[in-house]
Homo-oligomer: A and B are copies of this chain.
Amino acid sequence: MSITKNVALLASLFLCGCVVTVNDKVLVGKNRVVAWESKLVIAHRGASGYLPEHTIAAKAMAYAQGADYIEQDLVMTRDGEVVVLHDHHLDTVTDVRDVFPQRARADGRYYVIDFTLAELRQLAVSERFQEIDGERSAVFEDRFPLMQSSFGISTFAEEIELIQGLNKSTGRPVGIYPEIKSPAFHREEGKDISAAVLDILSTYGYTTMQDKVFLQCFDPFELQRIHAELLPAMNMAVPLVQLLGSGPDYEPLLTDEGLQQVAAYADGIGPSMFLIVGQESRASDLATTDLVERAHGLGLAVHPYTFRNDQLPAFVDDYEQLLRIYLDDLDVDGVFTDFPDLTVAFLESNL
């Protein structure tokens, strides 16, 4: 990280509002977390470059690699449990087709919401694959082999207990970075996933802006609901992050007016990395946007996704160059990465 740049950012924050430092966080304005003394390494689905995503083992590995925050994608089961899985489908990371062949919906997919937790416990979790005519092939071929060893689906509570237990045994304060997946889908299925997630956060002590948590979601209406209704009703306040995709749906949020609206309920944004540097950029001619600058101007932290050593954008030759552009040159506040080890090593060598 650039110490100079950060001091400048802190100074500008200090000029624009009340600044309080709690641990390594800097709070501003309405108790908002807007900047950190160091860049954050957010383990995207765990150390998913090396072990099957969202398994307890992948989280333990991410923890050992020095991640500051570990991500949990959250979906709900038929019996109302919150489990850690990237999709509300099961068929690309488990053996559900083999164990429950009759349980697909008309679209051929197997939905988490159609299974109880006890049923999900019977599934083996695999490195991510695509399946065509019964043939499975790896999405990332240099990663952990498909359908090996023994991994299962975990609940959100179990993963929090892992991280809090490790915080005790290591003495490090690693945070959680839960994402509420598809709240509208869950509502149609009769579940209020946001309320369920906040309940669990409250149970495990994540209730204030000082706690080591970011709560993320793609759905701006749901985040506004969480900010305006759910959190106040539970007497909670946790940092919220608006995720931003690169499709047309997100264009209104990316305008000056849209971003101001985001800043009214969120404390950070989690944009696709290509909203910061255009995907079609060439190394000699980076199409850089002003998103980071505009977000920082509104007091929003910026945590782009997804930084992968084995899936580099065309505009860089290696992973270090990618990190240098985003973390040093463009000054984002942290990155979602499948490779926490390489990202920690970059930041440490860069001090």
- A154 CB → nearest B CB, Å: 6
- A70 CB → nearest B CB, Å: 13
Q: Which residues of B contact A60 (CB under 8 A)?
A: 51, 57-58, 60-61, 64
Q: Is A306 an interface residue (CB 8 A)?
A: no
Type the 1/0 row for A40-74, where 1 means its CB is closer than 8 Å to any CB of B. 00000001011100001111110111000000000
Q: Is A199 an interface residue (CB 8 A)?
A: no
Whole-angstrom CA separation of A170 from B144 in the bound complex: 9
Q: Which residues of B contact A170 (CB under 8 A)?
A: 50
Type the 1/0 row for A76-105, where 1 means its CB is closer than 8 Å to any CB of B. 000000000000000000000000000000
Type the 1/0 row for A122-166, where 1 means its CB is closer than 8 Å to any CB of B. 000000000000000000001111001111101100110110111
Q: Is A341 an interface residue (CB 8 A)?
A: yes
Contact of A149 (CB < 8 Å), options: B149, B165, B341: B165
- Contact across chains for B148 and A161 when beta carbons are under 8 A apart: yes
- Contact across chains for A50 and B158 when beta carbons are under 8 A apart: no
Q: Is A169 an interface residue (CB 8 A)?
A: yes
Contact of A64 (CB < 8 Å), options: B145, B149, B341: B341
Q: Is A168 an interface residue (CB 8 A)?
A: yes
Contact of A150 (CB < 8 Å), options: B65, B149, B154: B154
Q: Which residues of B contact A151 (CB under 8 A)?
A: 56
- Contact across chains for A57 and B162 when beta carbons are under 8 A apart: yes
- Contact across chains for B158 and A144 when beta carbons are under 8 A apart: no
Q: Which residues of B contact A50 (CB under 8 A)?
A: 64, 166, 169-170
Contact A150 B144, CB 8 Å, known A60-B57, A64-B47, A169-B50: no
Whole-angstrom CA separation of A56 from B51 in the bound complex: 11
- Contact across chains for B161 and A149 when beta carbons are under 8 A apart: yes
Contact A159 B149, CB 8 Å, known A60-B57, A64-B341: yes
Q: Which residues of B contact A148 (CB under 8 A)?
A: 161-162, 164-165
- Contact across chains for A150 and B158 when beta carbons are under 8 A apart: yes
Instruction: Provide a sorted-by-A list of 23 A–B residue pairs whose CB atoms are within 8 angstroms.
Output: A50-B64, A51-B165, A51-B169, A56-B56, A56-B57, A60-B61, A60-B64, A61-B61, A61-B63, A61-B64, A64-B64, A64-B341, A143-B168, A144-B168, A144-B169, A145-B161, A145-B165, A148-B161, A148-B164, A149-B158, A149-B161, A149-B165, A150-B154
Known: A51-B169, A150-B154. 20 other contacts (CB 8 A): A56-B57, A56-B150, A56-B151, A58-B60, A60-B60, A60-B61, A61-B61, A64-B65, A142-B168, A143-B169, A144-B168, A145-B161, A148-B164, A149-B159, A149-B161, A149-B162, A149-B165, A150-B152, A150-B155, A152-B152
Across the A-B interface, give the 5 residue pairs with the lowest CB-CB distance, nearest first: A64-B64, A57-B60, A149-B161, A150-B158, A149-B162
